[in-house]
Amino acid sequence: MELAAAVDRRLPELLPGAGSRPERVIEAMRYALTTPGKRLRPVLTLTVAEMLGEDRPEVLDLACAVEMVHACSLVLDDLPSMDDARLRRGRETTHRAFGEDVAILAAFALFNRAYALVCEAGMRLSPRRYSVADLGHHLARAIGTEGLVGGQALDLESRERDLDLERLEYIHSHKTGALFIAAAELGAMAAGARRKEFDAVSLYAKNLGLAFQIGDDLLDVVGRPEETGKDSQQDTHKVTFVKLLGVDGARSLIVELLEFAVEALTPLGKKAEPLRSLAGYVRVRER
């Protein structure tokens, strides 16, 4: 995909140059960030902005900031005290390659680079209707206790006996959905979206993100490590939609959520076609 390739090209340019200090941390940042991933969240930011008429290069930096937050969350998620994962994107996880101390520092360095980028790109874009503070605030809210951290915390403390739909939806829509929503909203804000446009892409992203995470649970059971780049059956001790609804039930729920996502785009008409295609991709993905 062309937009994902643009993200891949830009990401390494946004990190401190070779030879800068602290070398090992910067090397770990580069490792965590530039190992090939699907780049779905930054593609979402770019697609939304482009759909609403904003395609200046600064949007690419905003999108890369979203990918940096995602990369940070993966490094933290993989740590021994969290998921204790061995493989990510087909390679050793960052803490296994660099040590836990360096991995934690690299995660927080990526996190802070992301906020700096949002400020830099936001100031240059200076979008109609939204301030740089709006951009930073939306991203911050998506990550903290009302977002990724909140979802991850409940995920970690949940046991099989806690398996219920309401709790699962809370976990998934926070630990994964929140960054999808922020990615789409940042694209909308960069383009100076009107209320109706903003709400439509936000609702679309909410359903897309939830469908995507259920797909992730499904791939943990039925996916092939050569495709997913991760070990299978990592979630056996966790509460997942697949455990609650079975493989077929989880598949049906993905289809239903993607239909909701596409329905949310109705007010945007034909111009939302690229977002409909993105939903189609999430439906059939195998990695």
Site for ligand GRG, rule CB under 6 A: 37-38, 40, 69-70, 72-74, 76-77, 89, 111, 143, 148-149, 152, 175-176, 213, 216
Instruction: Provide, rounded to whole angstroms, the least separation between the CB of residue 150 and ligand GRG.
Output: 9
Instruction: Provide, rounded to whole angstroms, the least separation between the CB of residue 78 and ligand GRG.
Output: 8
**Which lies closer to ligand GRG via its Cβ, residue 14 or residue 72?**
72
* Structure tokens given for 66: 């979203």
Instruction: Provide, rounded to whole angstroms, the least separation between the CB of residue 6 and ligand GRG.
Output: 16
Query: Which amino acid makes up residue 282?
Result: V
Neighbours of 113 (CB within 10 A): 20
Instruction: Provide, rounded to whole angstroms, the least separation between the CB of residue 197 and ligand GRG.
Output: 25
Determine the 3-state secondary structure of 87 from DSSP.
Answer: strand
Determine the 3-state secondary structure of 81 from DSSP.
Answer: coil
The rounded distance, in Å, linking the Cα atoms of 220 and 179 is 21
The rounded distance, in Å, linking the Cα atoms of 193 and 182 is 14
**Which lies closer to ligand GRG via its Cβ, residue 11 or residue 191?**
11
Instruction: Provide, rounded to whole angstroms, the least separation between the CB of residue 29 and ligand GRG.
Output: 14
Buried b or exposed e, range 232-258, using 16+ CB within 10 angstroms: eebbeebbbbbbbbeeeebbebbeebb
**Which lies closer to ligand GRG via its Cβ, residue 73 or residue 93?**
73
**Which lies closer to ligand GRG via its Cβ, residue 18 or residue 116?**
116
**Which lies closer to ligand GRG via its Cβ, residue 11 or residue 203?**
11
Instruction: Provide, rounded to whole angstroms, the least separation between the CB of residue 12 and ligand GRG.
Output: 16
**Which lies closer to ligand GRG via its Cβ, residue 192 or residue 223?**
223
Burial of 195: CB neighbours in 10 Å, binned 0-12, 13-18, 19+: exposed
Of all residues in the shown chain, the one whose CB is closest to ligand GRG is 37
**Nearest partner of 202 among 261, 132, 271, 283, judged by Cα:** 261
